[in-house]
Amino acid sequence: MSTPEAPQTHWRKSTHSGAVENECVEIADLNDHIAIRDSKNPDTGHLTLTRQSFGALLTHLTSQP
């Protein structure tokens, strides 16, 4: 799902990003959606998820060994 990005979107890096600054994901709050992008290639687009889907993704990722 792709939703147009707001002109003043505030992106923030994951707190789980490694020591290498260019190997991170960034997220942005788009009101009813959460956007996720690759910090190495921020101009190539982003993945947009509903808040519910983003929560399910985080639950799944944190349950992995």
- Look at the alpha carbons of 33, 36, 37, 42 in this order and tell me if their dihedral is positive or negative: positive
Q: Where are the chain's structural domains?
A: 11-62
Phi, psi of 43, rounded to the nearest 5 degrees: -90, 0
pLDDT one-digit tens code per residue, 8-62: 889 998 776 666 666 688 999 999 999 999 888 888 999 999 999 999 999 998 9
Q: Is the pTM of this model over 0.75?
A: no
